[in-house]
């Protein structure tokens, strides 16, 4: 077994605190990774505080992991000691179902194994995440990270990056298309960067007038204040694609009406209540609502290689491990631009 240091939630009420545990010994297909940086996703808060239900404790959160290979199993062929690598939202799947066979392990029919707050496929071990010193992962679920990228700023690509890249690629966003990104947070700011890099005409839609300057800085061409009903009405039937990153409760109809003929509303936010929508807003222009959840391993590697080529990373604030509870409170207040990343050398 391999000793690991971490910060963990021991129950849904207590702050995260120092925690020690053991990773499994390296198997023939495993890669041992020294964790250098780990992004802080808002889902970490939801799960640490059991806001979605079903949380498993003790819980070491974190699924935006960047590190260096410390050791490899005897059958590992893709990685060598010292390589810069990443681990994202999942660390295993059945590998044989029709979805896994199509390189979409995130939709595994048996259910993917999450990097944390999950039971590993032995049926008993609690999967623990990246707020820790070391992790052991099957080679297939380890990703190569280019040394061209700032490793701290690359960490959120493993969740926020692929979560926005995948649906935009699925929607086949093309140069010149009109794309709107709803919400300018950890997900939204990545959606803007990708849509701009694809050559789209990009609009940020936000409830906050203060977000306009950042939207422009990130490359957006336009800004639309969603509380300005006249401005919203003028954009009816305007967009080809809308990427909705908002997890606050809201009405999908408002955004469906902004879509042109056969427009696509891409959903990556997770509102706590079921959203309302008008069927008339769907049928009158053959619009569609499409949900998306991260990406498969091959697509995630494609995204990472694309980011290295285009020099795309997240806007981050690097913090010591000991600051995590303050960081959670700031995230709840939306007081971060746009992703906290933990420097694990401070653990």
**pLDDT confidence of residue 283:** 95
**pLDDT confidence of residue 271:** 83
Cα gap 30→307, rounded to integer Å: 26
Could you read off the pLDDT of 217-268 as tens digits, one per residue? 999 999 999 999 999 999 999 999 999 999 888 889 999 999 999 999 999 9
State phi, psi for 246 to the nearest 5 degrees: -85, 130
Per-domain residue ranges for the chain? 2-159+314-346, 161-291
Could you read off the pLDDT of 132-145 as tens digits, one per residue? 999 999 999 999 99
Q: Is the pLDDT reported for residue 160 higher than 90?
A: yes
Could you read off the pLDDT of 275-297 as tens digits, one per residue? 888 999 999 999 999 999 999 99
Dihedral, CA atoms, 184, 186, 188, 193, nearest 10 degrees?
Answer: 110
Query: Would you tell me how many other CB atoms lie within 10 Å of the CB of residue 214?
Result: 19
Strand-pair category, 239-244 with 84-87: unpaired
Could you read off the pLDDT of 49-97 as tens digits, one per residue? 999 999 999 999 999 999 999 999 999 999 999 999 999 999 999 999 9
pLDDT band for 273, please (50, 70, 90 cuts).
confident
**pLDDT confidence of residue 274:** 84
The percentage of residues in the chain with a pLDDT greater than 90, rounded to a whole number, is 96
Is pTM beyond 0.85? Reply is: yes
CATH code for the part of the protein at 2-159+314-346? 3.90.180.10
CATH number among 3.40.190.10, 3.40.50.720, 3.40.50.150, 3.20.20.70, domain 161-291: 3.40.50.720
pLDDT band for 270, please (50, 70, 90 cuts).
confident
Query: Would you tell me how many other CB atoms lie within 10 Å of the CB of residue 297?
Result: 20
């Amino acid at each position: 077994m391999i000793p690991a240091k971490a910060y963990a939630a021991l129950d849904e009420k207590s702050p995260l605190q120092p925690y020690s545990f053991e990773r499994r010994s390296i198997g023939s297909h495993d890669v041992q990774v020294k964790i250098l940086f780990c992004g802080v996703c808002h889902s970490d808060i939801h799960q640490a505080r059991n806001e979605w239900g079903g949380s498993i404790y003790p819980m070491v959160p974190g699924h935006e992991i960047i590190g260096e290979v410390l050791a490899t199993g005897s059958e590992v062929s893709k990685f060598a000691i010292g390589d810069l690598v990443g681990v994202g939202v999942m660390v295993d799947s059945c590998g044989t179902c029709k979805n896994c066979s199509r390189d979409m392990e995130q939709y595994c029919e048996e259910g993917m194994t999450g990097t944390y707050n999950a039971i590993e496929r032995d049926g008993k071990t609690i999967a623990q995440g990246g707020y820790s010193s070391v992790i052991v992962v099957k080679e297939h679920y380890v990703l190569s990270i280019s040394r061209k990228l700032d490793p701290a700023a690359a960490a959120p690509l493993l969740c926020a990056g692929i979560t926005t890249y995948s649906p935009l690629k699925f929607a086949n966003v093309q140069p010149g298309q009109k794309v709107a990104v709803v919400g300018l947070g950890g997900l939204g700011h990545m959606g803007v960067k990708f849509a701009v890099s694809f050559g789209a005409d990009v609009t940020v839609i936000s409830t906050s007038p203060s977000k306009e300057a950042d939207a422009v800085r990130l490359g957006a061409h336009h800004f639309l204040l969603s509380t300005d009903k006249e401005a919203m009405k003028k954009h009816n039937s305007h967009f080809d694609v809308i990427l909705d990153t908002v997890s606050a409760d809201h009405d999908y109809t408002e955004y469906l009406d902004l879509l042109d003929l056969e427009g696509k509303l891409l959903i990556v936010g997770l509102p706590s209540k079921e959203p309302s929508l008008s069927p008339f807003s769907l049928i009158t222009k053959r619009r569609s609502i499409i949900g998306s959840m991260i990406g498969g391993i091959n697509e995630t590697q494609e995204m990472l290689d694309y980011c290295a080529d285009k020099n795309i990373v997240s806007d981050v604030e690097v913090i010591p491990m000991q600051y995590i509870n303050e960081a959670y409170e700031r995230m709840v207040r939306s007081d971060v631009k746009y992703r906290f990343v933990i420097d694990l050398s401070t653990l």
